[in-house]
Amino acid sequence: MPDRFTVSIDTVLFDLDGTLVDTAPDMGYALNALLREYEREPLAAAAIRPYVSHGARGLIFLGFGEEPEGERFEEYRSRFLALYEKRICADSRLFEGMNGVIDYLDERKMPWGIVTNKPHYLTQALLEELNLHHRVASVVSGDTVAERKPHPAPLLHACRQLQRAPEVCVYIGDAQRDIEAGTRAGMATLVALFGYLNELDKPLEWGPTGLLERPADIIDWVA
């Protein structure tokens, strides 16, 4: 069993890609479609998966070695997002066991929300495809407020929407910026080890409250 939180948690906030939803198949499909358009070799799913949490920026770097400052980055990014939007939920699914977690929270009337760096139009489209849009109590996307994670502003915005103090919230993510944002916001934080971490990631060094081997472990933490 996990250690107890130092305060009672009554609100759960999730990162989206690699934490709540396994979007790697569709994000990877879009990247490989883009690579083919530019007559480049597609990449194996296993090579793409660790980069998915870093969004278009990480995937463009993986496929083309192009940083945001590069002269062709916006060209690649724009086309990638167009390809992804057309096939946003062909194979994306809640991680195994996550639906049970959401049911648990809903049954106990514990509000839950999503804080992601994904643009709003893509976030909304994905949630509608997964039939989650009517269940989630708060959605903060990458363009909802001026700052993005690892800045704490998106998480604090979610707190205001939910009328909750940060101290009674836990933020769950699979990237260092998630844990940094949650910590800076004054929340408990949990690392989703089932997400898109790579061999260089050292989640214990990020300073989280705890680690999750599987989605069902969330229930043990908030029970």
pLDDT tens digits along 59-93: 999 999 999 999 999 999 999 999 999 999 999 99
Q: Give the rounded percent of residues in the chain with a pLDDT score beyond 70.
A: 98
pLDDT of residue 131: 97
What is the domain partition of the chain in residue ranges?
11-23+92-222, 24-86
CA angle 190, 193, 195 (to 5 degrees): 105
Q: What is the pLDDT of residues 202-215, one digit of tens each?
A: 999 999 999 999 99
pLDDT of residue 6: 73
CATH assignment, 11-23+92-222? 3.40.50.1000
Q: Catalytic: 15?
A: yes
- The answer to whether 167 touches 155, Cβ cutoff 8 Å, is no
Q: What's the half-sphere exposure (Cβ side, CA atoms, 13 Å) at 18?
A: 25
Q: Given a cut of 50, is residue 1 above it in pLDDT?
A: no
Global pTM?
Answer: 0.95
Omega before 150 within 30 of 0, i.e. cis: yes
- Which of 3, 10, 15, 174 is flagged as catalytic? 15
- The answer to whether 47 touches 55, Cβ cutoff 8 Å, is no
